[in-house]
């Protein structure tokens, strides 16, 4: 859109790999890319739609399912926006991450043509039509086209928000997948997906306890960590791969989890405790392998659903060196729940004004590019 930079009100939309809800937040983004959350909501998918999404995650979906769900999810995202619009009025525009259904950053080739790709659905034309708002979406593709992995993208906002603090900070998001942004006063910002976040915890909690997730980490707290199984799980090749790297449900899928469960302890509470410890341990080992050899870490700042799991936080504290402080985004006035929504509002702001908004040090792209595509509403 170009023009002089102005403060904009933007609804950011995000549904992550946990697929627990559509996160929608009305944000105010200023020209210096500071972001204030005015109000956020967690909007539940209709249960049959959510079930269809998980069928896609498990590979039990047709091209017809993908086609139809693209538009159905767009309607769900629009409905979430309209809840905010009814209370606060229309924003200047909407920035939608969409719902990732497949992420394939591996550089496979056919006839010499790269198959590196990603797919987020939730048709932006539907969102624009249903809300009457310009909608910016499809943030990951341009980075992949430039040779990157299309992830992690939140690093861009992390750098704008945390770099001024002048500390060595590991900004750790724990959603379905865990990813870290390393902010340093002496080193360029970089980041990568550390591996499993809540995917395996949620799956096992649902399988053994019939619950969507381990609320407050209560089940894990009552279990015992099976160290032999944990050591086995820690040998997965992804954890040893050098950054830049990203992953998702395509790798840590139902087949992966069910295969891992063949070697699990018999007590279900011990399973939940161990997979919770796995998330914590893989995060800390990622620091030991890929960050600490280059620089010290003064603080680890946790965001995402994992920040609300006291048992996971306890395991992180146990595994981290004592001198590293453990905090959450809330300690810096940023919502744990809606931080990614805020980040995509910032990415949308940059797209609107034609500002490059990827970080090649994090994604592996060859160059800075402008992420996002615009759907207009007339």
The mean pLDDT values, 10 residues at a time, for the chain of 378 residues are 87 87 97 97 95 89 95 98 98 97 92 95 98 98 96 96 96 96 94 97 97 97 98 98 94 95 98 98 98 97 96 98 97 94 98 97 96 89
184 to each of 36, 159, 286, 368, how far by Cα in Å?
23, 9, 17, 20
> Same CATH topology for 8-150+366-375 and 155-332?
yes
Instruction: Provide the pLDDT for residue 1.
Output: 61
Instruction: Provide the pLDDT for residue 173.
Output: 96
Q: What is the architecture of the domain spanning 155-332?
A: 2-Layer Sandwich (3.30)
Residue with the two structure tokens 């080193």: 187
Burial class (CB in 10 A: 0-12, 13-18, 19+), 330: middle
Q: How far apart are the first and last CA of the chain?
A: 16
Buried/exposed code over 69-107 (b: 16+ C-beta within 10 A; e: otherwise): bbebbbbbbbbbbbebbeeeeebbbbbbbbbbbbbbbee
CA-based radius of gyration for the chain: 20
Query: Would you list the domain boundaries of the chain?
Result: 8-150+366-375, 155-332
Instruction: Provide the pLDDT for residue 41.
Output: 97
Fold for the domain defined by 8-150+366-375: Nucleotidyltransferase; domain 5 (3.30.420)
Instruction: Provide the pLDDT for residue 16.
Output: 80
329 to each of 54, 139, 332, 336, 340, how far by Cα in Å?
29, 23, 5, 6, 11
Instruction: Provide the pLDDT for residue 2.
Output: 61
Which residues does 328 contact at the CB level (< 8 Å), separation at least 6? Answer: 301, 302, 303, 307, 336
Yes or no: say if 154 and 181 are a contact pair by the CB < 8 Å rule: yes
Instruction: Provide the pLDDT for residue 377.
Output: 73
Residue 239's SS3 state is: helix
pTM of the predicted protein model: 0.93
């Amino acid at each position: 859109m170009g023009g002089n930079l102005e403060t904009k009100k933007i609804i950011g939309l995000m549904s992550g790999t946990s697929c627990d809800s559509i996160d929608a937040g009305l944000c105010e983004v200023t020209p210096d890319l500071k972001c204030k959350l005015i109000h956020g909501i967690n909007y539940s998918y209709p249960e049959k739609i959510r079930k269809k999404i998980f069928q896609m995650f498990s590979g039990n979906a047709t091209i017809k399912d993908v086609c139809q769900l693209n538009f159905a999810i767009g309607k769900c995202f629009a409905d979430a926006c309209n809840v905010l619009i009814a209370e606060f009025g229309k924003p200047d525009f909407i920035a939608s991450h969409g719902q990732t259904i497949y992420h394939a950053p591996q550089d496979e080739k056919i006839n010499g043509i790269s198959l590196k790709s990603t797919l987020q659905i939730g048709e932006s034309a539907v969102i624009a039509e249903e809300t009457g708002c310009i909608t910016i979406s499809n943030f990951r593709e341009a980075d992949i086209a430039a040779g990157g992995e299309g992830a992690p993208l939140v690093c861009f906002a992390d750098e704008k928000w945390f770099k001024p603090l002048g500390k060595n900070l590991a900004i750790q998001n724990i959603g379905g997948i865990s990813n870290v942004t390393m902010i340093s006063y002496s080193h360029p910002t970089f980041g990568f997906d550390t591996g499993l976040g809540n995917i395996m915890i949620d799956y096992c909690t649902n399988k053994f306890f019939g619950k969507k997730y381990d609320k407050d980490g209560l089940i894990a707290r009552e279990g015992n960590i099976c160290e032999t199984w944990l050591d086995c799980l820690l040998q997965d090749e992804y954890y040893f791969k050098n950054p830049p790297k990203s992953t998702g449900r395509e790798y840590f899928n139902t087949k992966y989890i069910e295969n891992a469960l063949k070697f699990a302890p018999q007590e279900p509470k011990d399973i939940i405790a161990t997979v919770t410890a796995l998330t914590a341990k893989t995060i800390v080992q990622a620091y030991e392998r890929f960050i600490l050899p280059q620089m010290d870490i003064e603080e680890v700042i946790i965001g995402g659903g994992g920040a609300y799991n006291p048992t996971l936080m306890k395991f992180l504290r146990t595994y981290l060196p004592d001198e590293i402080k453990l905090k959450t985004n809330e300690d810096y006035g940023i919502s744990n729940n809606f931080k990614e929504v805020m980040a995509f509002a910032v990415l949308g702001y940059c797209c609107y004004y034609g500002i490059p908004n990827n970080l090649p040090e994090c994604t592996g792209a060859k160059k800075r590019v402008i992420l996002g595509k615009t759907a207009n509403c007339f």
